[in-house]
Amino acid sequence: MVTLTAVQSKYLPYVLAVALFMQILDATILNTALPQMAKALGESPLKMQWAVISYALTLAIFIPISGFLADKYGTRRVFLSAIIIFCIGSLLCAVSSTLNFLISARILQALGGAMMTPVARLILVKSYPRNQLLTVMNFAVIPALIAPLVGPLLGGYLVQYASWHWIFLINIPMGIVGFILGKKLVPALFEDTKRLDWSGFILFAAAACGFTLAVEFASQTGRGLYSLLFVLISSVLLGAYVWHAKRQQFPLFSLSLFSIRTFRIGITGNLFTRLGISAVPFLLPLLLQVVFEFSPSQAGWLLAPIAVGAISVKPFVSKLIQRYSYRTVLVYNTFLLGVLIIMLAQFNNPAHWPWFIPVLTLMGACNSMQFSAMNTITIGDLQGTQTSSGNSLMAVNQQLAISFGIAFGAAMLNLLRERLHIDTLIAFHITYWILGGMTILSGMYFLRLKPEDGRGLY
């Protein structure tokens, strides 16, 4: 345990708070801005998904090596470098003149993000005694609750009254604050590092990219063969990783994690449940702006209830799980989430917007309940060195689910519109029905949990 100065001990959590706020704001501010960005870049608003997918996919790929880099080169150096890379990526996003340039800049931005938040969290874990860690973490993650509320609103107003470039330029002053705080407060911590499993990293990264591209090609006319080819190649790569990991002493992700039943159920349920949930924040602003012709700021206000619901239910999550068990909460909550997604398909008139508010508020509450329960049950039974590896794999799994979910939702929408020539509004409705049905079915996987699973966690 590192010895902190009084100033460091008091203010170090602000470093993680700033990093979290920057990263989550960046992830949520973009959705309401996509239609305006599409106009400026000469693209269809319904084909902007790669501006979001590229970021989430890059995070998923590079999060696993953030801890290794921090241990080898020092937490301070890696964290400060991450902020610089994130800000340079943000600046390049702001000056993008084509979608391809924007996607490249988003990848660079995500490289910084992949190191920024995980390393900041690692710094706190290594710097505070266990009996203080919960208090410190709870304070540091407050921005994670605020950013989803601020993001859509700020994004809507910036693109409507300034320009879309400011949704990226706003990261620069926040990055400067984070850099100054980091330089003054972050201790330089090192650990003896084992050799990173680069072969496993390459196999895993290639498989993740291949599956995402397979979903994208499936929605394009005449690209079905490419989609099938990428599925086959990615499956072989994933199989090669499993073969490789069995023969490595220190693989990127230990296969022994999957011998723990609650981890196996939690990580799989996490992936499939998030496929439907992750597509909604991408699709909903498009429906509101492209089909119903809401302004960006109006769309931002209508997305705000999701964050309000998420914040409101936080104090009750533990109590509900204690009373009804993880199994019951996850099965029923996932079913309810699927029903709420399907309810979005019932809106066919912009004048019905007041009905959005209770539906989206409840959806936000259910999302918060779902993520808290899934994450806790996934890593709750891990012990010793498994905890770090399992936590890393869970973070990767979440980002992959976001990229797969958005890719699937966008692919389904484009397939219905372009290949089946279905009206855009009807295509949105069918997509919501499919996503909701998938979410309901994914909830049945949590029936594998036992009523007593997770009882030691509360």
pLDDT digits (tens, 9 = 90+) for 293-302: 999 999 999 8
Identify whether residues 176 and 242 lie together within a single domain. Answer: no
For residue 384, is pLDDT > 70?
Answer: no
pLDDT confidence band for 307 (50 / 70 / 90): confident
If one counts the domains in the chain, the total is: 3
Domain presence at residue 336: yes
**pLDDT tens, residue by residue, 30-57:** 888 899 899 899 998 888 889 999 998 9
Co-location of 257 and 247 in the same domain:
no
In a domain, 36, yes or no: yes
What value does the mean pLDDT take over residues 200-223?
Answer: 86
Do 327 and 386 reside in the same domain of the chain? yes
180 within domain boundaries: yes
pLDDT for 47 equals 84
**183 and 98 both lie in a single domain:** yes
19, amino acid identity: A
> Quick one: pLDDT at residue 130?
62
Q: Which pLDDT value is given to residue 442?
A: 93
Residue 138 pLDDT exceeds 80? no
**Single residue among 251, 284, 306 that ends a domain in this structure:** 251
| pLDDT confidence of residue 189 | 81
Lowest mean pLDDT among 70-84, 121-135, 386-400: 121-135
Residue with the two structure tokens 């993740």: 208
Domain check: are 364 and 457 in the same one?
yes
User: Percent of the chain at pLDDT above 70?
Assistant: 97
Does residue 337 share a domain with residue 223? Answer: no
pLDDT confidence bin for 457, thresholds 50/70/90 = low
The token pair at 130 is: 């266990």
pLDDT computed for residue 8 by the predictor? 84
Do residues 260 and 233 both lie within one domain? no
Q: Alpha carbon 337 to chain centroid distance?
A: 17
Mean pLDDT of 370-390: 80
pLDDT band at 392 (very low <50, low <70, confident <90, very high): confident
Identify whether 62 is part of a domain.
Answer: yes
CATH of the domain at 297: 1.20.1250.20
230 and 139 housed in the same domain: no
Burial class (CB in 10 A: 0-12, 13-18, 19+), 225: exposed
pLDDT tens digits, 411-453: 899 889 888 889 999 999 999 999 999 999 999 999 999 998 8
**At 385, is the pLDDT very low, low, confident or very high (cuts 50, 70, 90)?**
low
Answer yes or no: is 192 within a domain: no
* Residues 281, 358 within the same domain: yes
Give a three-class secondary structure readout of the chain: CCCCCHHHHHHHHHHHHHHHHHHHHHHHHCHHHHHHHHHHHCCCHHHCCHHHHHHHHHHHHHHHHHHHHHHHHCHHHHHHHHHHHHHHHHHHHHCCCCHHHHHHHHHHHHHHHHHHHHHHHHHHHHHCCHHHHHHHHHHHCHHHHHHHHHHHHHHHHHHHHCCCCHHHHCHHHHHHHHHHHHHHHCCCCCCCCCCCCHHHHHHHHHHHHHHHHHHHHHCCCCCHHHHHHHHHHHHHHHHHHHHHHHCCCCCCCCHHHHHCHHHHHHHHHHHHHHHHHHHHHHHHHHHHHHHCCCCHHHHHHHHHHHHHHHHHHHHHHHHHHHHHHHHHHHHHHHHHHHHHHHHHHHCCCHHHHHHHHHHHHHHHHHHHHHHHHHHHHHHCCCCCHHHHHHHHHHHHHHHHHHHHHHHHHHHHHHHHHHHCCCCHHHHHHHHHHHHHHHHHHHHHHHHHCCCCCCHHHC
Q: Would 198 be classed as within a structural domain?
A: no
> Are both 286 and 320 inside the same structural domain?
yes
pLDDT at 321 over 80: yes
Assigned domain for 90 exists: yes
Residue showing tokens 């723990």: 260
Asked if residue 1 belongs to a domain, the reply is no
Q: Which amino acid makes up residue 311?
A: I
Domain region containing 170: 9-187
385 and 452 fall within a common domain: yes
Least confident of 83-92, 176-185, 192-201: 192-201
Instruction: Calculate the average pLDDT of the chain.
Output: 88
Instruction: Please tell me whether residues 33 and 54 are part of one structural domain.
Output: yes
